Structure 1
Amino acid sequence: MDAQVTLLDQLFDAGLLIDTGVDGLYGRSGLFEDVIARFDALITSFGGQDGAEVVRFPPGMNRAHFERSGYLKSFPQLAGTVHCFCGDDGAHSNLLQCLETGADWSADQQISDVVLTPAACYPLYPMAAKRGALPAQGRLFDLMSYCFRHEPSRDPARMQMFRMREYVRMGTQDEVIAFRKTWLERGRELIGRLDLPFEVDVANDPFFGRAGRMMANSQRDQGLKFELLVPVNSAVNPTACLSFNYHQDHFGSVWGLKTASGEVAHTACVGFGMERVALALFRHHGVDVETWPASVRAALWG
């Protein structure tokens, strides 16, 4: 049996994940949620002293902002939109008939002003830009949101809906590069406390199409993205559990973000895959948290 399916079945059998009948869409048990909460607190113990502004967005964002961000140009295969019924009584009768016969009922669905959030930071940039120029020291934000990416899979580490915790730095090039360097070091220490095997390597985003392959190569060549990889399903293809991204001035240019001196702001972020880290813990330490190493339990539960 495939290793990914075996792990997923173990998680189902232990009641840690709950099968919904859709690959990549799962319920979580109370124990799974407790591990997430403990890991969330561990992240804060590393980054909380930096004085980041805490912001929590819903799992949906403004469609106009989404379109302007450029995400749909680069990752159309991952995007999720929200469609709603906008018909009249006749359309409703047709809908009821379709439901009765098992026919396609989506004809009267229209796209709404909401899309599913693809990454926790995407709603942040227009919000920050509305405030005007950054203060002299730039800005630092602490975010977490449920996110959506349309890539159904039996790999439990590749969920369609998942949580992402992020710290986002806005400022000068030197400021955001220093921020990313700091978190590359912190990320290693943080995951080390959980006694998980890992490596950090240069990476690229899953840009779409032939032009996307060129963008991916450029991203790797410039070292704009690093990932902290932990074997979850396979040692051959480890899973990205933390991501360290330097966006250069992309979001600054898109949203008109300026530094205090009037230059286009640069941005960087560190992202934590909350479910992925929890899965890595259950994969390497077992489904019974009472048997986890004492050092790991101390790191999470104190």
Structure 2
Amino acid sequence: MSTTSATTPPVPGLRSPGPGLITLDPAHTALLRGLDTLLTGLAARLSAPEVTGPPLLAAADLARLDYFRNFPHLGVSAGRFAPDAYDALAAGRPPGDRPLEPTGYVLPSATCYGLLLSLEGADVGADGLRISAAGRCFRNETHYDGLRRLWGFHMREVVYLGTKDGALEHLERGGAFIQETAERLGLVLTRATADDPFYDKGGSRARLMALDPVKHEYSAPDGTAIASVNRHRNFFGERLGIRAGDHGPAYSACVAFGVERWVHALLLAHGGPEQALDRLRAVTATPA
């Protein structure tokens, strides 16, 4: 792994551009890149090739997936200034309440949505399909808190589509990788049931989830959730017409990592960026 030296002098003048926004200095950037490289180990273990998802998602597509019934507060819309605002903006006047035109698109709040939508109508076969991707994700939040809760952040996911048994195996192997990687990094994580399923919280699927949880989070000692395993059942397979050969609508599952939150957890465990980089280098120098 190639990382910036822990003794690299800080870049002067770096500051937060606004709430939930941050510029990472060289040491923190080295932690982010090094951790993301380490987390790609799950994709390698599961033979999940790397793909690149779209930077925007059609709001109409997300509506078909109950996104706005489940997460209306998270969506960050992509607008553009109306032509009658151009002159004022060109003259250097602040945007203020200049009119914005809707585009019908939003920024992704999770990496998997774009990947799943791109497979609409596909048949992944009885053997199933695994893919991996990392993307910049965005979420409106009630508050922001350092690296723990950002407006824009990096999310790496490994997604499976196929049979019910295949989805369960995917999550078992993903959960084992999370715990194994955390232990190698000196992180103590707690696994707990989460309460934000991908589908409508008020429907029969949500009532079923209360009896059979579909999402578990792995949290650092301060309560920061840094990874999750998510079982979608065949929700996306049904909504998007994705099939698993003769098995019918595909079951899907994903393992997700919030990379900045892994940086936060490593700093929490080891006291600072230099110590965290030392631990990360030691781990990456020793094959799992």
TM-score of Structure 1 vs Structure 2, range by shorter chain? 0.7 to 0.9
Per the alignment, residue 106 of structure 1 pairs with: 98
Per the alignment, residue 257 of structure 1 pairs with: 242
AA in 1 matched with 2:113? Y
Considering only aligned residues, what root-mean-square deviation do their CA atoms show, in Å? 3.0
Taking structure 1 as the reference length, what is the TM-score of the superposition?
0.81
Q: CA deviation at 1:296?
A: 4.4
1:120 touches 1:144 (CA, 8 Å); kept in 2? yes
Does 2:220 match 1:230? yes
1:285 touches 1:293 (CA, 8 Å); kept in 2? no
CA–CA distance in 2 between the matches of 1:24 and 1:39?
21
Per the alignment, residue 10 of structure 1 pairs with: none
Give CA deviations for 1:29-50 in whole Å, capped at 9, x if unaligned. 2221211221122122343032
Per the alignment, residue 73 of structure 1 pairs with: 69
Q: CA deviation at 1:245?
A: 0.4
Per the alignment, residue 176 of structure 1 pairs with: 167
Give CA deviations for 1:107-132 in whole Å, capped at 9, x if unaligned. 3x1111431011000011121124x2
Taking structure 2 as the reference length, what is the TM-score of the superposition?
0.84
CA–CA distance in 1 between the matches of 2:204 and 2:34?
39
Alignment of 1:232-247 (within 5 A): 234=222, 238-247=223-232
* 2:187 aligned to which of 183, 186, 196: 196
Does 2:33 match 1:37? yes
Which stretch shows the higher mean deviation, 28-37 or 142-151? 28-37
Per the alignment, residue 285 of structure 1 pairs with: 270
CA–CA distance in 1 between the matches of 2:12 and 2:257?
20
Per the alignment, residue 11 of structure 1 pairs with: none
CA–CA distance in 2 between the matches of 1:293 and 1:274?
15
Per the alignment, residue 3 of structure 1 pairs with: none
Per the alignment, residue 125 of structure 1 pairs with: 116
Per the alignment, residue 257 of structure 2 pairs with: 272
CA–CA distance in 2 between the matches of 1:133 and 1:229?
35
Which stretch shows the higher mean deviation, 266-275 or 215-224? 215-224
2:11 touches 2:26 (CA, 8 Å); kept in 1? no
AA in 2 matched with 1:175? G
Equivalent position SS for 1:19: coil
What stretches of structure 2 of length at least 5 have no aligned partner?
1-9
CA–CA distance in 2 between the matches of 1:202 and 1:103?
43
Give CA deviations for 1:171-219 in whole Å, capped at 9, x if unaligned. 111110111111111211111111012111111118999x669976753
CA–CA distance in 1 between the matches of 2:37 and 2:89?
46
Does 2:150 match 1:159? yes
Does 2:127 match 1:137? yes
The structure in which a higher percent of residues are helix is 1
1:58 touches 1:146 (CA, 8 Å); kept in 2? no
CA–CA distance in 1 between the matches of 2:160 and 2:209?
19
CA–CA distance in 1 between the matches of 2:258 and 2:169?
22
Give CA deviations for 1:71-95 in whole Å, capped at 9, x if unaligned. 112111111101112334xx54566
CA–CA distance in 1 between the matches of 2:37 and 2:86?
47
1:16 touches 1:28 (CA, 8 Å); kept in 2? no
2:125 touches 2:243 (CA, 8 Å); kept in 1? no
Relative to 1, partners in 2 of residues 1:208 and 1:78: Cα closer, same or farther, differing over 3 Å? farther
Between the aligned residues of both structures, percent identity stands at 28
2:27 touches 2:273 (CA, 8 Å); kept in 1? no
CA–CA distance in 2 between the matches of 1:94 and 1:104?
10
1:152 touches 1:159 (CA, 8 Å); kept in 2? no
2:43 touches 2:49 (CA, 8 Å); kept in 1? no
CA–CA distance in 2 between the matches of 1:26 and 1:213?
38
The structure in which a higher percent of residues are strand is 1
